[in-house]
Amino acid sequence: MIMNPLIENIKKKQFEHREQYKIDTKDFLCQIKELYKDKDKERRATLSALLIRLYDDLMENINNSHQSSGAINDDAIEGILTIADTCIEEQNENKKTQKDEQKRDYKLEADLKHILYDKENEDIKARVNAFYSLCTKYRRIKDYPDFKSLIEMREDKICQDEIFQIMQAYYYIQETSKDLDPKKALRYWKKDIVSKFKRLPAFTQIYTETVVLYCETENVNDEALLTESEVLINDAISMRGYAKFYSTLGRIYGCRGKYDDGISEVRKAIEEEDSKREDYLVRVNEYQAIISRLQRKKDEEALRKEAADIQAQMNRSQKDYIGILGFFSGVMALMIGTIEVAGGNGSMIDSLQLLMGIAGMIIISFGSLNLLLVRKDEKRNNQYPEWLLLVIGLCLFVLSFVARVLYKYLVTNNWI
């Protein structure tokens, strides 16, 4: 059996960091294309070896993570993303050269499909990552029908893998015309996906975006889900500053009513976004749309609060008017009753005392009413204290008795 040196290189390769996964995966794909362009069996076997290596590296990081919190290294996923991007590049290149019938390009997508649907392949790892690569490719070019056809696979071993479950949940938060269903996607995360996978930054983004969409579309504020999502996305940010992480964190803040913090985070996403990406302008437009949405919600909440304050003030004023009417009714009843009791048969001093007493009582009543109706949240425009009317009323009431005593004194001494 002839040894395949490229497969050996793939197995022995040491990937030091995320960027190296991207560069070396691209390099391996180029070598596969050049060495085995017309050798389907060797080409697919070598591609399978690359897919298996990426799968093993990812699972090794997951299995070696013994902590119960914090982000888990997912650098190997960059290799899968590179494979998906290469598929897109070849598709775009083929569109430019499709008139050239003599040109026969290497079809990476076709090989991935062959590996995916080869049920005789006992190594499920290659098939799972072929599935993951194709899902990523279709999602990025918004080919949702093909994406859906992949997740509709049934009675296949790959359906038991966590990555299949994650991609299945991911489909239901895409902006499709019929299948957008964050609630259903969230059920997959709760029921079928081990919680450890939420801690891989690439999958953290998928999960937290699902939570945000669920809260936004269902108009709910699930504090437990939002708190968990905020912790997860901050852990992901601490591992690598991917632009979309900031955008998702901003939306989490928006769901919790922290609109200024949310807008600030989305602006960070614009600053962190890679301007060299082909979809740079599309992404920036998405971030700006999120900022506009958060600003609108902030303005709507401010208007609702202002309207509530006005309504509360109107309710208080209505109660005040009712109280004033009741007060005047009581005062009038008191005056009429007092006059009727007096009967008009009293002396001049009795009438004077009665009038001064009634005047004092009215002033005291006004002072009491003023104290009852004054509000601590209202600014004072007058220059006198609220208790001044009480003092004046009491003084006038006391003077009515002093006047009677003085009158009796004068009568007793025959001075009048």
Higher pLDDT, 121 or 8: 8
Identify the band that residue 311 occupies on the pLDDT scale cut at 50, 70 and 90. Answer: confident
Q: What pLDDT does 1 receive?
A: 41
Distance CA 209, CA 171 (A): 12
Say if residue 256's pLDDT is above 90: yes
Question: What are the backbone angles phi and psi of residue 17, rounded to the nearest 5°?
Answer: -155, 175
| Average confidence score pLDDT of the chain | 85
pTM, whole model, 2 decimals? 0.75
Q: Which of 48-52, 326-330, 379-383 has the highest mean pLDDT?
A: 48-52
Residue of 276, 287, 288, 407 lying closest to 348 (CA atoms): 407
Interval 140-153: pLDDT, tens: 999 999 999 999 98
Interval 186-226: pLDDT, tens: 999 999 899 999 999 999 999 999 999 999 998 888 999 99
Task: Please state which of the ranges 32-41, 182-191, 312-321, 405-414 shows the lowest mean pLDDT.
Answer: 312-321
Distance CA 250, CA 384 (A): 51
Q: Give the pLDDT mean for 128-143.
A: 95
Interval 10-52: pLDDT, tens: 999 999 899 999 999 999 999 999 999 888 899 999 999 999 9
Say if residue 333's pLDDT is above 80: no
How many percent of the chain have pLDDT more than 70? 81
Q: What pLDDT does 97 receive?
A: 65
Other beta carbons less than 10 A from residue 326's beta carbon = 11
Residue of 120, 106, 111, 104 lying closest to 45 (CA atoms): 111
Question: Are 125 and 162 contacting, i.e. CB atoms less than 8 angstroms apart?
Answer: no
Distance CA 76, CA 21 (A): 6
Per DSSP, the residues of 96-132 read: HHTT-TT-----HHHHHHHHHT-TT---HHHHHHHHH
Task: Please state which of the ranges 49-63, 152-166, 233-247, 318-332 shows the lowest mean pLDDT.
Answer: 318-332
Interval 228-248: pLDDT, tens: 999 999 999 999 989 999 999
Q: Give the pLDDT mean for 61-73.
A: 90
Question: Are 97 and 146 contacting, i.e. CB atoms less than 8 angstroms apart?
Answer: no
Identity of residue 275? S
Q: What is the dihedral of CA 265, 214, 137, 286, to 10 degrees?
A: -40
Question: What are the backbone angles phi and psi of residue 50, rounded to the nearest 5°?
Answer: -65, -45
Q: Give the pLDDT mean for 81-100.
A: 82
Q: Give the pLDDT mean for 325-336.
A: 63
Question: Are 8 and 47 contacting, i.e. CB atoms less than 8 angstroms apart?
Answer: no
